A and B are shown apart, each in its own frame.
Chain A
């Protein structure tokens, strides 16, 4: 691993309505290949999981689908930061901000993941565990912010650091 090496990557695609959903996985795979040549295997797999989940979320929920999805990946001093931004309605922003607040402050994210899976099964609700999985299983910190008519999600992972 070359921990002193800095790497940044930005990707933007749109309009969302015309973007193939498979692009999230392809982007995740490509970044995993790239990062494992410069950093650890763990950074590569975590980047793949996070990029796949976050870009999929935007493609599935990005408002009217006329905007773009922007993904930025930065690796510096053993800290991986991934930020994904796209259009979102007021309602979506409110829901995601609440969800991120809950998972960020959870003292036991794994227990929260389990109870969420159970609850969503009982209520026959779809999805809703992607961000939780990043926090509970991959050790990412998660934050969300509303920027005008867009929602930006940033996840961060520090290798060997406390999350």
Chain B
């Protein structure tokens, strides 16, 4: 499933094993992120036990409401005891900085370079 918005695209794999987020995520409020990430929250429990992979390597910007939204996904993965993998782009500094904080919230969160 592919959800294309003006500034960003969310593409979910049919087998529920992962998704990719690309573009710029600068939604105005946490409530807007709840809505935007709803497909991810629904997919997370349905996928394989090996884990869920979210590729953000082409996501160039995300505001703090988005970080809150992402952290909620990570905490949901923790609740489900499902490993969570972020694929990042090391040329975009905020990605590793932000995710390193989240990694301490959930030890089964891993980060790998995708570009």
Contacts and interface: CB of A to CB of B under 8 A. Distances in A.
A137 interface: yes
A47 B91 CA distance: 17
A130 interface: yes
Interface string A79-91: 0000000000000
Contacts of B111: none
Interface residues of B, number: 24
A121 B29 contact: no
A136 interface: yes
A49 interface: yes
A127 B68 contact: yes
Interface string B2-35: 0000000000000000000000101011110000
Given A24-B26, A56-B28, A130-B65, 18 more contacts: A21-B28, A22-B26, A25-B24, A45-B93, A52-B61, A52-B63, A53-B64, A110-B101, A114-B101, A114-B104, A117-B102, A118-B105, A121-B68, A121-B71, A126-B29, A126-B31, A126-B65, A128-B68
22 contacts: A22-B26, A25-B24, A45-B94, A52-B63, A53-B63, A110-B101, A117-B101, A120-B68, A121-B68, A121-B75, A126-B29, A126-B65, A127-B30, A127-B65, A129-B64, A129-B68, A130-B63, A130-B65, A133-B64, A133-B67, A137-B94, A137-B98
